[in-house]
Amino acid sequence: MSILINKDTRVIIQGITGKQGQYHASKMLEYNVKVVGGVSPGKAGNNVFGIPVFDTVAQAKKHTRVDATMILVPPAGALMAALEAYASKIPLVIVITEHIPFHDAMIIRRMGIKENIRVLGPNTIGVISPGESKIGVMPGFIYSKGKVGIISRSGTLTHEIASNMTYKGIGQSSCVCVGGDMCKNLNFIDILKLFRNDDQTESVVMIGEIGGAGEEIAAQYIKEYGYPKKVIAYIAGSRAPEEKKMGHAGAIISNGIGTAKSKLDTLEDAGVIVARRMDEIMANLL
């Protein structure tokens, strides 16, 4: 069994009628994802590639069972889209949108915790359980089904490492991108806990980067409670200058906090296998 999503997961897309929404809806249908609806205010009654469009999340939920929602709306509308999903108690909310105002992201996080809803992101490519389902914007064909779980802050590094694994015949159970922003909901530690109890997953690859403390917190968890599966970690940005935002809002070394060295040392101390280059991840999986 994969984590977070599987072939039975029924998903809606908030922002389905936009250019991005339509494109990724079609890609998810190609991947045989159960896309059961889309939300776009004022567009109820239309359809996108046969997917019915509703005005609100509540209307969509009235019409059909919804297990998850993918939010693909512009940054200014993302907070309201998330709160709308929370109000309808959608149990898994995946916020793809990048460049959401930081104060909105804090409220998305805080309200998600308060309403006890699993929120992935913001600024994520989503999650894929290869061969089962994908809720996100990743190209499905570079991923393949197998036994390695991936947790990453970076979308394209997830593509890179998963595709390199696929070409070498190593498949993945689920690949979860926790997102590139400073303030996010599900983090390394939460996904590690899910992989811990997942029978399909035999080893876990953590792809971190400079900034924040999610990797250190995960390392502390592994050290404190032990972890029954092999964990391999890679951290991007070991040569990044300090006080510079490296593409992701959360990828910044500030006042000496969040260096690659601090993360690698903490992970190594917790017994995690540390890869200094990405191809060393592969070497440790073969």
In this structure, the strands spanning 172-177 and 133-136 are unpaired
**Would you call 248 a catalytic residue per the annotation?**
yes
12 to 51, contacts with other proteins by CB under 8 A? 20, 27
Q: Is 183 in the site for other proteins (CB under 8 A)?
A: yes
Asked if 182 is part of the footprint of other proteins (rule: CB under 8 A), the reply reads: yes
Structure token digits, residue 266: 């903490």
**Piece of 31-39, 97-105, 221-229, 264-272 that binds other proteins (CB under 8 A):** 97-105
Contact at 8 Å (CB) between 120 and 93?
Answer: yes
205, 212, 258, 261 from 215: Cα distances, Å: 12, 8, 9, 11
Q: Is the peptide bond before 122 cis (omega within 30 degrees of 0)?
A: yes
> From CA 218, how far away is CA 178, in angstroms rounded?
13
- Interface stretch with other proteins, choices 51-59, 192-200, 234-242, 266-274 (CB under 8 A): 234-242
Binding residues for other proteins, how many (CB under 8 A)? 68
CB of 183 to other proteins, least distance (A): 5
Q: Residue 276 is encoded by which pair of tokens?
A: 């200094």
Our CB check for other proteins shows the closer of 55 and 160 to be 160
Strands 203-209 and 47-48: unpaired
Q: Which residues bind other proteins (CB under 8 A)?
A: 20, 27, 75-76, 96, 98-104, 106-107, 109-111, 114, 125, 137-139, 142, 152-160, 163-164, 167, 180, 182-184, 207, 209-213, 217, 234, 236-241, 244-249, 251, 254-255, 257-258, 276-279
Active site residues: 248
